[in-house]
Structure 1
Amino acid sequence: MMRELTIADVRAAVRGGSVFASGGGGWVDHGLEIGGAAVGIGRPKLVSVDELPDDAIIITTTAIGAPAGREWEMWGVDYIKAVQLLMDNYEGKVVGVMTPQNGMSSTINGWLPAAALGLVVVDATGDIRAHPTGKMGSMGLASRTDYETIQVVVGGRRDTGSYLELVVKGTPAKTSNILRTASDMSGGFIASARHPLPASYIKEHAAIGGISIALDLGYAMLEAEAQGPEAVMEAVSCKTQGRYIGRGQVLKKDVHYSGAFDIGTITMEDGGGNELTLHVMNEYMAVDDQEGQRLTTYPDVITTFEAATGLPVSVGGVKEGMEIALFAIDKQYVPLSSSVKDHSVYPEVEQALGIPLAVYGLKGI
């Protein structure tokens, strides 16, 4: 049922979203700041998609870029302006917003424009976990040529002249690539609104309940914090049916920024001289053992926890010598959207990483 989102929900969404961030999904401080602004200027409401009529138009709100980017600047008004520009360029009436993914800040992506513009936040995600490309959160639209979308980006460094506002129309595949380029030009991270779709499409193709799942996990983590780091990590595994597949020091981090993506590998020890390789494209996309055997692959949730704090640590926050715990939730235990079942979203990421993903990720779904 409809519920008003509060500052307590902001903290829980950021905490739980940090697990589903899978090493990306924004920043904790940014999530708390934007979420706090949302509940400060209004009372954003979280609704089930089933509470909306089938023809109610819902748009996706997000941020595009690489979490390790350093030259970006994105204000709360940029999120609002992106949604407003989409609404100005769309003939119908927009009712609600949703996020394409959970994350450290992306779980609360739409809360601020919803509060400012009188929209509702829909309890659904384009993907339960964070992912590198917009196509992976587009709910099966990536390969469609019969759907004309509207995509908007707003943001960038004002002091360097990198601020951009861009509205594009066309197929999801082509316009998504344009937005990624705009993000890179703006400094590496930019606010976005896109894909006006009827609730009937969301009901069929989204990961339903994605926000509530992050909130519930976040509250469990916050409750466990008083008992220490190990209790927090245990609470996560109990709540999600996930498992820890490695623990040890980070031996090497070889991740580099390229075209609004963070791409590379992180190598960690796993006791007894064994090593694990974490493949990164903004988020953790796969893990191999030292024999080259695949241990987990997108769309599984793959998260690193800093052992000293018991909290998720992003790719950008991982340092050589840090002790981390590697955690995974098998895809059978999370709702899957049509995005992750779309064969066309995998080749771009496979080419960037130089490893197979689809043969593992699509197996059994």
Structure 2
Amino acid sequence: MDTLKLDERIVEYAVYGGAVLGGGGGGWIEEGLRIGKLALEVGQPKLVSVESFADDDLFVTVAVVGAPAAPNKYVKPVHYVKALELVSSMTGKGVRALHTNENGGETTINGWFQSALSGVPVVDFACNGRAHPTGTMGSMNLTELPDYVSHQAAVGGRGEHYIEVGISGSLDHAASLVRKASVEAGGIVAVARNPVTAAYARANGAPGAISRAIAVGEAMLAHQGEAAIAAVATELGGKVIAAGEVTECQLETSGGFDAGLVRITDSGRAYEMTFWNEYMSLELDGERLATFPDLIMTLDMDTGRPVITAAVAQGQRLAVLVVPKEKLLLSTTMFNTKLLQPIEQIIHKPILSYL
């Protein structure tokens, strides 16, 4: 693929496939469909292969940052465009392509609306081929460059909670301030950040991540129910570990994140999953079965469609899909123990010892 013309069919594939690769996070399917179809109404976004760009061409990440379950969240398409305009003015150099920070129901189509309005293409690339909770996990290991100056712009909220901010500084500090801005804006902000060259992106991110999501969505939407779940497992090289009823679901939104646990009973056996936006661990009777960045995802047993952590409810019948990390398109950040270590304080379970 050099260039793929994006249409409504591709939007649906990308959103549903992206939701699976979101691993419980990555935003709401309904919002992804809405924004993707809106992009087609205002223009013609195109998806371009990462190999089509020169090494020194500049890429910019576009993303949504915050807690999907926040009750007062408010981000509109104009906010995405304003964030891109802000960060472009901060770089002093023309942006050649836009890309998402991660795969997810909303995040896979990050940049499509901005592309439709601006004419800047979307590149078939993500900072990470699966979703992740923190901004630094989507930074393509820029945290390891001592002199790197991060440029980030965040826009969101309404009324007295409207926020429009541009930040330049260390990556950790800028990401922390953007996360705080999401809280002040009601839960979520549209973000454009971290300009890098195409060469750096190829070496540290996930080339082909968007076409991977499209392939997963196409496999899923050709079927319903258990057949759809089986098709996704085959496409990704994963396995359904459990299928049963949600007997417990705990979720708390704090500091711009959703965190909690889900218990599913299958044939009398209780499977427990923790999550920090995305599912972090899967256990049975204390035995660890999967650990982030392995992909752990819940799908509705009746429809075969993805169910993100913010939408899980007691009494649902869900299947638990696991795809080993070795079969995913992952950023170099997924092997950076410094960036993964904070997960342990949130879920109160070991992560690093399972990597």
TM-score range, shorter chain: over 0.9
The one-letter amino acid paired with 1:245 is I
1:116 is aligned to 2:111: no
Residue 198 of structure 1: aligned partner: 197
Does 1:288 find its partner at 2:283? yes
Gaps (5+ residues) in structure 2?
none
Q: Write the distance in 2 (CA, Å) between the matches of 1:36 and 1:80.
A: 16
Instruction: Please tell me whether the aligned partners of residues 71 and 157 of structure 1 are also in contact (alpha carbons under 8 angstroms).
Output: no
In 2: Cα distance, 1:53 partner to 1:83 partner: 21
CA distance in 1 between counterparts of 2:45 and 2:101 reads 18
**How much does 1:24 deviate?**
1.3
Name the residue aligned to 1:235.
231
Q: Give the conservation status (yes or no) of the 8 Å contact 1:288–1:296.
A: yes
Give 1:88 shift.
Answer: 1.3
Q: Deviations over 1:63-100 (max 9, x none)?
A: 00111111011100111110011011111111111111
Aligned partners of 1:123 and 1:210 also within 8 Å: yes
Using the size of structure 1 for normalisation, the TM-score is 0.95
Aligned AA for 1:359?
S
C-alpha distance in 2 between matches for 1:256 and 1:277: 17
Q: What's the offset of the Cα at 1:143?
A: 4.0
* Equivalent residue, structure 2, for 1:210: 209
Report the aligned-residue RMSD.
1.1
CA distance in 2 between partners of 1:360 and 1:98 (Å): 30
Question: Which whole-Å CA distance do the structure 1 matches of 2:143 and 2:254 have between them?
Answer: 22
Partners of 1:12 and 1:263 in 2: how far apart?
28
Counterpart-to-counterpart distance in 2, 1:310 and 1:47: 30
Q: Is the 8 A contact 2:130 2:328 kept in 1?
A: no
Deviations 1:330-351 (A, max 9, x none): 1111122111111221122211
Query: What amino acid is aligned across from residue 319 of structure 2 in structure 1?
Result: A
Q: Which amino acid aligns with 2:178?
A: L
Residue 299 of structure 2 is matched in structure 1 by 305
**For 1:355, which of 315, 335, 349 is the aligned residue?**
349
Partner AA of 1:156 in structure 2: G
Alignment partner, residue 222 of structure 1:
221
Q: CA deviation at 1:257?
A: 0.6
Please tell me whether the aligned partners of residues 6 and 44 of structure 2 are also in contact (alpha carbons under 8 angstroms). yes
Find the residue that maps to 2:161 and give its secondary structure. coil
| Contact in 2 for aligned 1:3/1:47 (Cα 8 Å) | yes
Q: Does 1:147 align with 2:148?
A: yes
Gaps of 5+ in 1: none
Report the TM-score, using the length of structure 2 for normalisation.
Answer: 0.97
Find the aligned partners of 2:158 and 2:246 in 1 and give their Cα distance: 33
Contact 1:72 1:189 in 2 (8 A): yes
Query: How far apart, in 2, do the equivalents of 1:141 and 1:330 lie?
Result: 25
Q: Sequence identity of aligned pairs in percent?
A: 37
Partner of 2:308: 314
Distance 1:334 1:45 in 2: 24
Match of 1:51 in 2: 52
Is 1:39 the equivalent of 2:40?
A: yes
One-letter code aligned to 1:79: Y
Aligned to 1:12: 13
**Any conservation in 1 of the 2:21–2:295 contact (CA below 8 Å)?**
yes
